[in-house]
Amino acid sequence: MTDAPNPVLCAIDTPAMEMAVKLTGELARWVGGFKLGLEFFGANGPEGIRAIARTGAPICLDLKLHDIPNTVAGAVKALVPLQPALITVHASGGRAMLAAAAAAAKEAANSHDLPRPRLLGVTVMTSLDEADLRDIGQDPLPGSQVDRLAFLCQDAGLDGVVCSALEIERLRRRFGRSFLLMVPGVRPDWTTQDDQKRITTPAEARRLGADYLVIGRPITRATDPAAAAKRIAKELEAAQV
Ligand code: C5P
């Protein structure tokens, strides 16, 4: 057995507030938190976030902010009162934007006397292949682009990055134990792959060094979502990771 907190962030990708509140209420004891993205936020706004936060589970606000530094800083300040544990920003927004986001999180948390949300930089979207990266003028080797952006995130004062399972081991070695790694594309071996191409099991992702495992549909679309979340939690416990 391990005392590690549950690393699973369940992705609640729906605009339907009532369904999300019911689902998160059932799941809260079996997951480490909920990841709420643009679909849920666009439909339900801050009130929707507050409703899910009432489950008591930590929230990752996955809004992938990317704008000029002043605007991103303002957005982070506006989000801090919602008390998210994690907020995502695009690493490719550049050093000044990342530093402004990190400073804004600190400042707003201090001024509201709230815990500081951890900021994670989105490195390379796994939906982009080498040709896509070339199209937008980026290093066509996703690995080296991820390394470069992860370094920038750490240097600019972010707490960690979002990366694919392929990158966990290398980033963990390079950036140390305290740099947070959040990993989507995680699938237990008893569920379907959906549209995820490169998948890793929860235990394997943890063994490689991931801090947070983003798992959506294997839980939310299961016949019994709470049972699926419980099974994942028990498997992680049994693997002692
Ligand atoms: O349902 P599933 O487990 O595939 O959900 C994964 C979640 O992680 C979704 O919210 C998706 O947008 C997000 N995500 C991803 N791959 C990335 C980045 C984010 O699947 N590279």
Q: Nearest CA to 197 among 91, 126, 98?
A: 126
Asked if 98 and 89 count as a contact pair (C-beta separation under 8 A), the reply is yes
Q: Residue 83 sits in a domain of what CATH number?
A: 3.20.20.70
In a domain, 2, yes or no: no
10-residue mean pLDDT profile of the chain (241 residues): values are 78 97 97 98 98 97 98 98 98 97 98 97 86 85 90 98 95 96 93 77 96 96 97 94 85
What local confidence, expressed as pLDDT, does residue 1 receive? 38
In a domain, 1, yes or no: no
What local confidence, expressed as pLDDT, does residue 139 receive? 80
What local confidence, expressed as pLDDT, does residue 3 receive? 56
In the annotation, is 197 catalytic? no
- Give residue 158's domain range: 8-239
In a domain, 195, yes or no: yes
In a domain, 167, yes or no: yes
Gap from CA of 50 to ligand 1 centroid (Å): 22
Which of 8, 214, 215 has the most ligand 1 atoms within 8 A of CB, as the residue to mutate? 214
In a domain, 44, yes or no: yes
In a domain, 144, yes or no: yes
In a domain, 55, yes or no: yes
Domain count within the chain: 1
Pairing of strands 33-37, 118-122: unpaired
Is 191 near ligand 1, meaning CB less than 6 Å away? no
Helices assigned H by DSSP within 113-177: 130-135, 142-155, 168-175
In a domain, 179, yes or no: yes
Is 184 near ligand 1, meaning CB less than 6 Å away? yes
Q: What is the CA 28 to chain-centroid distance, rounded?
A: 17
